A and B are shown apart, each in its own frame.
Chain A
Amino acid sequence: QKEVEQNSGPLSVPEGAIASLNCTYSDRVSQSFFWYRQYSGKSPELIMSIYSNGDKEDGRFTAQLNKASQYVSLLIRDSQPSDSATYLCAGGLYNFNKFYFGSGTKLNVKP
């Protein structure tokens, strides 16, 4: 089993809808999780981090962590075409010296 797993998609949602991106992780990964957004041909950029069970909101983005189920999700409300990108889930360990990334979920937001 990979340390962090994601559905590769693509996930297509209409503009204005909620996009739900999911990620599961193995016991090897610590309890710190991150969502990176990667536009085509560009480098990843951090959009959310979450460390505690529950929800964390930042603007239109909400990260959710369920440690019992080893499950992390990212909700994007009021999705915009500019949100179309690949979203990478990552888990950190060893004081953030090592990170495990999922393969990414491609999101398409249709106007």
Chain B
Amino acid sequence: EAQVTQNPRYLITVTGKKLTVTCSQNMNHEYMSWYRQDPGLGLRQIYYSMNVEVTDKGDVPEGYKVSRKEKRNFPLILESPSPNQTSLYFCATRYNEKLFFGSGTQLSVL
């Protein structure tokens, strides 16, 4: 089954403790991206990667890092999480114009 897999589904952490949210896809798509979703603000793009060689910032990259060492994986790294990064995070791939989203990671930073 074609899918985008994120882990973990839920994560509670404390301010300053480094964490990584993993994203893996089995659809062989070149493009991958990370979004955060907040009430009243909708989905906002954090980073995107056109392929393993090209990664670029979205609209809200501050406080986040990404890595694209291989096509199938695109982890999101929070080096020093803060409470304002509490959000619902989605990883997505794209084929033509269509985005395929993972099931989401609900992150709470205390």
Task: Show the binding face of A for B, using Cβ within 8 Å.
Answer: 4, 6, 8, 32, 34, 36, 42-46, 49, 88, 90, 92, 96-104
Contact = CB atoms under 8 A, between A and B. Distances in A.
Interface string B17-47: 0000000000000010001000011111100
Interface of B: 31, 35, 40-45, 48, 50, 56, 58-59, 90, 94, 96-99, 101-104
13 contacts: A44-B90, A44-B99, A46-B99, A49-B97, A90-B43, A92-B97, A96-B96, A100-B59, A101-B43, A101-B44, A102-B42, A103-B42, A104-B42
A100 B58 CA distance: 10
A101 B103 CA distance: 18
A96 to B, nearest CB: 5
Given A96-B97, A99-B99, A43 B40 contact: no
B58 A98 contact: yes
Contacts of B59: 98, 100
Contacts of B99: 36, 44, 46, 99
Given A46-B98, A49-B97, A98-B58, 10 more contacts: A6-B42, A32-B97, A43-B90, A44-B90, A44-B99, A44-B101, A90-B43, A96-B31, A100-B59, A102-B42
